[in-house]
Structure 1
Amino acid sequence: MRDDTWADEAEAAARLVGYGFRPKHTPARDETYRLLVKRYHEDPDFAHLVKRCAAGMGLKVVGVSTRSGMVHAALPGSVFETKMDQFVRQVRMREQREAERVLYGITHLAIAVLAFPRREDLADDGYVGKVRASEVTQYVRSVCDLLAERAASVDQEDDPPAEAPELERAWRVYLKRPEVAPTRKGNRGLSATRTITTRALTYLFDRGMLTQQGVDPERSERLYRTTHRYQMQVRELAATRAYEELLTLGVLPPVTDTDGLRTINPDTLYD
């Protein structure tokens, strides 16, 4: 009779990796999931097998916890990798795809930085970030304005050099777009920066990275809160060059203890 012990181990490891593709499904709602997470933390050999199983699928295990379950990210070249041009296709942007790729990229980056404006917030598992579409849109535009001012002060040409920092190459694209750009039917146009921000937030919400906390009656817009799953993903993002550039620009709004980010004054960037 064949010994299926090894096969059972491999199947259990693959099942745990598979749970990572169900971002809104948590161990608290599934006893099998909970036991696999528990085993991952208590059995080093099983944890190693899970990581190797994920690697074979082109995935990196970002974290495993009872709160968020399995969180993994696609390795470069993986079939599961969602590049920014693929994301643009998913949100049905058919024209100016290269420009949209840049705009959505910088918007996603801004959401991450605004959600966790301090490194201690990113390191604190109990911290919950808060973002609104208007804050993200205004922050990105403020950053672009600052970069434009810096470029003008050194008489920089319209086209930045290839070795320029990532944000230096992106702000020109963003500033050319209107915030609203209404259509004939009164809706926001697809190219409007506010539409880009809303779609980026919706994308993260649909993947269990953000939760929605109703509509703020005073601002008439939805408030999003970060999940632990998103926090773990942003920790990976924090190692990128562009994320570091945003943090060092010095234009992050202050943070309060009661309501997350305060509104940025369009003239001073602060209240």
Structure 2
Amino acid sequence: MTTSTVAGPDLAAVSALVGFGLQPRMRPLDNPRYRDLLQRCRSERPFRSAVEALAEGLELDLIEVHAVEGLILHPRHGSIFTYRLADHPTLTSKERLILGLVHVAIAARAYPYPEDLEEDGATRIAIDDVDAFLRHLIGKLQEATRDSDGLALPHAGLDTAWRSYAKLTPGRPTASGSRLTRSSSQWWIAEALRWLVEQGMATPARAHGPGHYLLAHRFRLQVREAASIPAFTLLNDLRRTQLFEED
């Protein structure tokens, strides 16, 4: 079914719903119009088909129509809505690799098993936990390098990323003592989580103390779309091995 079955004011409604979906921090429970349009998308097949067609034209995949998270869209490679670390104007090439490694580590730390990606709900994570996991990863990679039989790395960039991360100190406060500096590994984890908050994929879990966050279902769905990438597979394998060793 195509948008030919939806006309006039309905086309404006379709566009409005996709517009809401492109504002990832907006939630339908906070916006009556968004909530009503989302309900139409969930219950009216012609309306949903029109939403899917508009998303298709914008090179977006409609991942889920979620009652709480809203319209969840995933930009395809090359879409104008795709965010790439290379587009970040203030990062060096090595810093982009570090930040990319941190994002993958957050996902692997939060969802070590395939069934974790099928659940619905928030997952709590802490900066300290992600840093500890990355340093465990680095230890394993260093051992593999010394043994020369090593782990097969998905691409050279991952090798550069973990070596660069290893040179960072776990935490170094600024002169005022109030914030971490850019030379701290935990600063990069906080930066990655800050971006996830901006994208509506995480929220600070202040009740659990500083440095704790809740990863939204929206983040899980984005990870699910990218779960086959080699770097995620490698970190997932190491995380599962770590959990087995801890038991």
Alignment TM-score > 0.5, same fold: yes
Change (3 A) 1:140 1:162: closer
- The answer to whether the 8 A contact 2:117-2:220 is kept is yes
Q: Give the CA deviation at 1:231.
A: 1.9
In structure 2, the partner of 1:7 is 8
In structure 2, the partner of 1:230 is 219
Q: Give the CA deviation at 1:169.
A: 4.7
- The answer to whether the 8 A contact 1:144-1:171 is kept is yes
Gaps of 5+ in 1: 256-268
Change (3 A) 1:161 1:34: closer
Change (3 A) 1:215 1:100: farther
**In 2: Cα distance, 1:144 partner to 1:35 partner:** 48
Change (3 A) 1:43 1:5: closer
In structure 1, the partner of 2:238 is 249
Structure 2 SS opposite 1:131: strand
Q: Aligned runs of 1:188-207 on 2, under 5 Å?
A: 188-207=180-199
In structure 2, the partner of 1:133 is 127
- The answer to whether the 8 A contact 2:126-2:212 is kept is yes
Q: TM-score, normalised by structure 1?
A: 0.78
Moved more, 67-76 or 102-111: 67-76
What fraction of aligned residue pairs are identical, expressed as a percent? 28
Higher helix share: 2
Structure 1 SS opposite 2:62: strand
Q: Aligned runs of 1:128-167 on 2, under 5 Å?
A: 128-154=122-148, 164=155, 167=158
Q: Give the CA deviation at 1:152.
A: 1.6
**In 2: Cα distance, 1:124 partner to 1:252 partner:** 21
In structure 1, the partner of 2:119 is 124
Q: Give the CA deviation at 1:215.
A: 5.4
Q: TM-score, normalised by structure 2?
A: 0.85
Moved more, 59-68 or 186-195: 186-195
Gaps of 5+ in 2: none
Structure 2 SS opposite 1:63: strand
**In 1: Cα distance, 2:137 partner to 2:153 partner:** 20
In structure 2, the partner of 1:208 is 200
Residue-pair matches, total:
243
In structure 1, the partner of 2:27 is 26
* Deviations 1:121-172 (CA, angstroms, capped at 9, x unpaired): 22011x431111111111112112211211221178xxx9997476445322
- The answer to whether the 8 A contact 1:20-1:70 is kept is yes
- The answer to whether the 8 A contact 2:202-2:219 is kept is yes
Task: Work out whether 1:180 is the aligned partner of 2:171.
Answer: yes
Q: Give the CA deviation at 1:74.
A: 1.7
- The answer to whether the 8 A contact 1:131-1:224 is kept is yes
Structure 2 SS opposite 1:221: coil
**In 2: Cα distance, 1:164 partner to 1:205 partner:** 28
- The answer to whether the 8 A contact 2:99-2:188 is kept is yes
In structure 2, the partner of 1:67 is 68
Change (3 A) 1:161 1:38: closer
Matched to 2:60, the amino acid is L
**In 2: Cα distance, 1:251 partner to 1:165 partner:** 23
Structure 1 SS opposite 2:23: coil
Q: Aligned runs of 1:80-119 on 2, under 5 Å?
A: 80-87=81-88, 89=89, 92-93=90-91, 97-119=92-114
**In 2: Cα distance, 1:253 partner to 1:204 partner:** 25
**In 2: Cα distance, 1:67 partner to 1:104 partner:** 29
Matched to 1:12, the amino acid is A
- The answer to whether the 8 A contact 2:113-2:240 is kept is no
Q: CA RMSD in A?
A: 2.9
Matched to 1:236, the amino acid is E
Matched to 1:191, the amino acid is S
Change (3 A) 1:213 1:188: closer
